[in-house]
Structure 1
């Protein structure tokens, strides 16, 4: 979640997945009150990643879909998200969609789940795999 020396946010992105293209067409212009930032994508396609605000909220598409899990899972307007606390924020991963979107939200934006509705259209544009939160 760190930004580089320039104004661009350094993002680790997965390899490009054509299945992400419908989702990335729905990346939000703003996340909360945070506006888009320039990114530098390491290892993946810039088109599959976005960042907003400072500190940056980072979204990437193209990750392997999570399998069955006992981790916390949220239903946000019909899009399911697995919640993983990090030392400096929270990682949300779409559940029941393949490939998956990951959204990294820094601690500065508590309560972090309130930012997830901005990603609903992108998440719902991904193909489903039949899994849902219980």
Structure 2
């Protein structure tokens, strides 16, 4: 038997990996035509409070219709999806990310993957995140529409600024 200059094992593994990547890419590309949005559930997606949230998700966000997802405690709007929601994430602790209050809900904003913006209902347990494709949808509109469901989750901390915690009279 003739020996090969390389092992067939790694080459086969690479071929299988490449096939998986192509299949995943095709399935993501087809979600614009399909009814169900593929998503991964958050770690604590089975939390009963997340069930309270997902049964009360709005039918629309702006002009985007709600779609079916394949994961527990998730939501999606738009075709292709422009707004995604996951309940049951691990809540972010103290952070330097921008934090804004919208209709009584504190939201931290992660702009590091623009044009995808990540909004987290800060200090809520379990955690709730919203991903918005800013090329298609308004983050402000999304968090306004989702504020009512975010309020269903108990608030364990609030946003604060450095000026809230400093006695400015001592700095003079």
Q: For this structure pair, what is the TM-score category when the shorter chain's length is used for normalisation?
A: 0.7 to 0.9
Residue 88 (structure 2) aligned to one of 57, 62, 65: 62
Following the alignment from structure 1 to structure 2, what is the Cα–Cα distance between the partners of residues 92 and 25?
20
Larger Rg: 2
Number of residue pairs aligned between Structure 1 and Structure 2: 128
Root-mean-square deviation (Å)? 1.9
TM-score, normalising length from structure 1?
Answer: 0.84
* CA drift at 1:64: 1.0
Q: Supply the distance in 1 between the matched residues of 2:97 and 2:158 (Cα, whole angstroms).
A: 14
Q: SS where residue 30 of structure 2 aligns?
A: coil
The equivalences for 1:1-134 within 5 A come to: 3=28, 5-6=30-31, 7=34, 8-14=36-42, 15-41=45-71, 45=72, 48-56=73-81, 57-85=83-111, 86-109=113-136, 111-134=138-161
Any gaps of 5 or more consecutive residues in structure 1? none
**TM-score normalized by the length of structure 2:** 0.67
Give the structure with the larger strand fraction. Answer: 1
> Counterpart in 1 of 2:165?
none
The one-character-per-residue Cα deviations of 1:75-104 (angstroms, maximum 9, x if unpaired) are 010111110112441011110211111101
Unmatched tracts of structure 2, length 5 or more? 1-26, 162-172
Structure with more contact order per residue of length (Cα contacts < 8 Å, sep ≥ 6)? 1
Deviations 1:56-76 (A, max 9, x none): 111110011110111001101
1:23-50 CA-partner distances (Å, limit 9, x unpaired): 2232111011100112222xxx2xx111
